[in-house]
Amino acid sequence: MFYPQAMSEVELIIPSRDLVEVTRVLSGQGIFHQADSSYMTAKNESNPAGGWQEKASAYAALERRILAIMATLSMDEGKPAKKEFDQFADAEKIRPTVEEIEKEVKHTSEQMNAQNKKVEQLEGIIRQLEPVNDIDLDVSALRNSRYLFSMLGLIPAANIERLQTSLERIPNVFFTLREGSHQSVVWLTGSQNNADILQRAARSAYLNPLVLPEEYKGTPKAIIQALKKEMEDTQNNLKETREVIVGHHDTYIKQLQSLIWDVRTSRMLADAIMRFGQLRYTYLIVGWVPKKYLDSFVQRVKAVSKEAIIEAYPTKRGGDNQAVPVALDNPRVMGPFQGLVTTYGRPLYGEIDPTLLITIMFPLLYGAMFGDLGQGLVLAAIGWLLMSRKVKALKSMAGLGGVILACGLVAAFFGALYGSFFGFDTVIPALWMHPLENIMSILKVSIGFGVILLNIALFLGIYNAYVARNWGRFFFANTGVAGILLYWGLLGMVVSVGGSFLGVSIPLPSTIFLVMLVVGGLVVATSEVWIRLVEGHRPLIEGGIATYGIQAFFELFESFVSYLSNSLSFVRVGAFAVAHGGLSSAFFVLAAMAGGTHSVGYWIVLIIGNIFITGFEGLIVGIQTMRLSYYEMFSKFFTGGGTRYEPLALYPSKEN
């Protein structure tokens, strides 16, 4: 839980005759993370991939075609049959079956698409004609005139006068066939010689012309009747086509679901074999297995290939382990918070997994900023609803439900401490303090709590450097021993001047902290020299003494600013607690303006206010909590960039 799962690197050499059986075991267990060893294929082999690349490509193409058919038929993939893989699917036998189904489904699908398109076109023409439905005019007379240009359409009523003014010097006939408060039906006609001018003027006045295909003739009313009859016939045909699609779905669902999993598992195994190293009579396989599964893994492989040679090497946390896959091993209840960690980055194999820390810290910070017993319980109920997956539209947010549930419960706890219940501060007694009445106290506590968290983060960073045997970072970096001396010296000097920490008077010898401040500052400023010295890099100083001096100064200045800003950032915890109470008070003022406590308006305003606070402020507090976690805490000890553990598995498995 404190570290990713311990991994063992394994190397297997297996006879060619056992290739399929061993691959089946590797993928069937779902614990072997494969590394690409194809580069170790013997150079004298004429066909190093053994034809597996072509097989994988053939399976991938078949898989895409089957998925396309299933998408057309609105068919899900279903679940794979619970059976062990026994042999590769025969692509040459499957392909004719897929092609036959594809041809039949494609023909029906094209019919349905064409009918849908036709219905849309007919609806569009009817929409054009409906505004001029009562105009007794043969629209075909407006087309193909040798001498006259005509335009029938809709124009904003306010633009009619402007259009007429712009055409005063151009011979034309302009009729308003129907007047409306917003739009009018107009008919503009003139000489074909002036067609371009008339069109430009009509466009500038936003005249929307009626454009009909050549085959439609008669009055708009007659055309609409004919179009509705045609659309009704098309919709009947579309209904029949959809029934055919449903028939295809029922006919082929079991067959296609079986085919997709047969082809997919074959493709996955072919992909895996393609990345094996191929020798003359053997295959070389390299990868990682979680240490706790190593014995059972070896036994399973030996059971199907007695001549297999298996070498396993425990992988140490320290050193260069960038390529080691990272499988996080946390209890299920911490899963939502593990998602917050992996959103920022997956820890390296040798790094501490911060999931436990953020599981405790995230709800604590959130609850302190959003302390209200009633609103917290509402948030907890929303989180539980999301986790239950009872609302289909919100299933994608189920992972976030656990975070919201925990934050809501802690917010309710802090609400009891603050004496706040749906914004009321007189319903329940404050077990600790009212933020609005103790602003300076809660701000000081926030900074003190932030200092404690930052120290925890710094110690975790030092421990990570120790595990990685990165002595340069351990001793000299601004997140190492020198950095924590600098931070403590800075804190000590501040407390010495103020004389208290978290309101408790602490007499401190300022000389000790001054020494820590100076020593830590000098080491951090010259950290590059010390790190290069420890790591054996030369020269120790690049670019000359003067350039390095400027760089050292700004390095120290940046560290000072960083520690100061990181510590003060936690002021926002208390500030949001105060703002939360202030916003609630503002809604109480608005409610009082709407009437007394016995009026309906009073309670409506309070309900709207609580909904606003729970939704809008709840979201903002979540963003601020995430910022404190990622930028103030994680930046001190968390590197990230670990390789995700993706074991070979024939069938879907949970997130690792």
Write the pLDDT tens digit of every residue in 292-337. Answer: 999 999 999 999 999 999 999 988 887 777 789 999 988 988 999 9
Mean pLDDT value across residues 583-587:
91
3-state secondary structure of 327: coil
Count Cβ neighbours within 10 Å for each residue of 413-427 and write b for 16 or more, e otherwise: bbbbbbbbbbbebee
420 contacts 581 by C-beta, under 8 angstroms: yes
Write the pLDDT tens digit of every residue in 591-629. Answer: 888 887 788 899 999 999 999 999 999 999 999 999 999
What is the DSSP code (8-state) at residue 594?
H
Rounded CA separation 119/395 (Å): 34
Rounded CA separation 581/24 (Å): 62
Residue 655 has pLDDT above 70, yes or no: no
Question: In one letter, which amino acid is 273?
Answer: I
Mean pLDDT value across residues 141-152:
76
Mean pLDDT value across residues 221-232:
88
- The per-residue pLDDT for 484 is 93
48 contacts 335 by C-beta, under 8 angstroms: no
- The per-residue pLDDT for 50 is 56
Tokens 């067609």 -> residue: 195
The upper half-sphere exposure of residue 33, i.e. CA atoms within 13 Å in the direction of its Cβ, equals 19
Question: In one letter, which amino acid is 468?
Answer: A
Residue 114: other Cβ atoms inside 10 A: 14
Rounded CA separation 113/478 (Å): 64
> What share of the chain in percent tops pLDDT 70?
94
Does the CA dihedral 199-200-201-207 come out positive or negative?
positive
Mean pLDDT value across residues 481-496:
87
Tokens 């382990």 -> residue: 321
3-state secondary structure of 477: coil
Instruction: Determine phi and psi for 188, rounding to 5 degrees.
Output: -115, 130
Question: In one letter, which amino acid is 644?
Answer: R
Rounded CA separation 336/287 (Å): 29
Write the pLDDT tens digit of every residue in 395-446. Answer: 778 888 999 999 999 999 999 999 999 999 888 999 999 999 999 999 989 9
414 contacts 625 by C-beta, under 8 angstroms: no
Please, what is the average pLDDT of the chain? 87
Instruction: Show the domains of the chain with their CATH numbers.
Output: 39-120+223-274 (1.20.1460.20), 137-218 (3.30.70.100)
Largest CA distance in the chain: 105
Residue 150: other Cβ atoms inside 10 A: 19
Question: In one letter, which amino acid is 307?
Answer: E
What is the DSSP code (8-state) at residue 346?
P
Torsion of CA 63, 64, 66, 68, to 10 degrees: 160
The token duo for 623 is: 């963003």
531 Cβ neighbours under 8 A, 6+ residues apart: 472, 473, 476, 477
Task: State how beta strands 277-278 and 172-178 pair.
Answer: unpaired
Write the pLDDT tens digit of every residue in 250-295. Answer: 999 999 999 999 999 899 999 999 999 988 889 999 999 999 999 9
Total number of residues shown for the chain:
656
Task: State how beta strands 282-290 and 183-191 pair.
Answer: unpaired
336 contacts 366 by C-beta, under 8 angstroms: no
535 Cβ neighbours under 8 A, 6+ residues apart: 472
- The per-residue pLDDT for 570 is 93
- Picking from 586, 584, 604, the residue whose alpha carbon sits closest to that of residue 595 is 604
Residue 561: other Cβ atoms inside 10 A: 10
Residue 143 has pLDDT above 70, yes or no: no
Q: Is the peptide bond before 4 cis (omega within 30 degrees of 0)?
A: no
Residue 510 has pLDDT above 80, yes or no: no
- The per-residue pLDDT for 223 is 85
Residue 46 has pLDDT above 60, yes or no: no
Residue 193: other Cβ atoms inside 10 A: 10
What is the DSSP code (8-state) at residue 356?
H
| Cα–chain center distance at 274 | 32
244 Cβ neighbours under 8 A, 6+ residues apart: 108
Rounded CA separation 327/290 (Å): 8
Write the pLDDT tens digit of every residue in 85-131. Answer: 667 888 999 999 999 999 999 999 999 999 999 998 888 788 777 77
Q: CA of 637: how far to CAs of 322, 351, 474, 630, 633, in Å? A: 16, 9, 11, 11, 7
Rounded CA separation 351/533 (Å): 24
> What share of the chain in percent tops pLDDT 90?
48
Count Cβ neighbours within 10 Å for each residue of 205-235 and write b for 16 or more, e otherwise: bebebbebeeebeebbeebbeebeeebeebe
- The per-residue pLDDT for 49 is 47
Mean pLDDT value across residues 240-248:
92
517 contacts 490 by C-beta, under 8 angstroms: yes
Rounded CA separation 583/589 (Å): 10
205 contacts 163 by C-beta, under 8 angstroms: yes
Write the pLDDT tens digit of every residue in 512-567. Answer: 888 888 899 899 888 888 888 888 877 778 777 888 788 888 888 888 888 888 99
Rounded CA separation 303/298 (Å): 9
- The per-residue pLDDT for 84 is 64
